[in-house]
Copies of this chain bind each other. A is one copy, B any other.
Amino acid sequence: MGRRDISKLRRAEYAAAAYRALMRYGNDGTSLARVAEEAGVSKANVLHYFKSKEALLAAALRYANAELLREAVLLLGEARTPLERVYAVVETNLSPTSFRPEVAHAWIALCAGVPYVPAYQRIQTVIYARMRSNLIGPLRSLLPEEDAALLSDLMTTAIDGIWLRCGLSLDGLTRQAARAQLEAVLDARLPDSEERRAAKIRMLEVARILVKARR
């Protein structure tokens, strides 16, 4: 049975390599040869574990998604109130592991491929569904149904826009500037309050601690 283990290992290894290639070279720049080189093995061997390039890239994006999910779960686990849950989502999307041009590159490449690669479409749908459910839950307990839905959607679009700018990195969009923008989005519907400020500060602190602990 010592041989089955290596199969799981290789699959994870090559998915990670494909993700690195996706970050560095973009969607069309990521060839099987490049992924194989990244993993230090032959192209044929990569195809031995993934029957097609599409399957490989889908695995790569599931891998990346799982990475972000781990971060989200950790932060949301520490959130005690609805407001803290909202800020947990904000800080998750601004965490140093996610909010990097390389990661954003991979994500934009994913978006660009959505119309042509069915697997990408499915992954993207999952990501959006999770984002929405994470946001609309806490918001519903803070706002009228209609406003909760609107603010949830608006937060999602704003996060999309911020990640896009991060990926383009034409101007150096800092984490602070991005945070200020998302804060302003919340201003649109969420009244300023002492609890809100406290929730923001606490989740920022929790995020800081988790990042430090991770390293």
Contacts and interface: CB of A to CB of B under 8 A. Distances in A.
Q: Which one of A159, A180, A185 has the greatest number of beta carbons of chain B within 10 Å?
A: A185
Interface residues of A, number: 45
B109 A170 contact: no
Q: Specify how many copies of this chain sit in the oligomer.
A: 2
Interface string A193-212: 00000000000000000000
Given A27-B28, A27-B112, A165 B160 contact: yes
Contact of A112 (B108, B154, B160, B189): B108
A181 interface: yes
A116 B29 contact: yes
B115 A112 contact: no
Contact of A188 (B113, B153, B160, B188): B188
Nearest to A111: B108
A73 interface: no
B26 A112 contact: yes
A162 B164 CA distance: 11
B157 A162 contact: yes
A179 to B, nearest CB: 12
Interface of A: 25-29, 101, 105, 108-109, 111-116, 121, 124-125, 128, 150-151, 153-154, 156-162, 164-165, 167-171, 177, 180-181, 184-185, 187-189
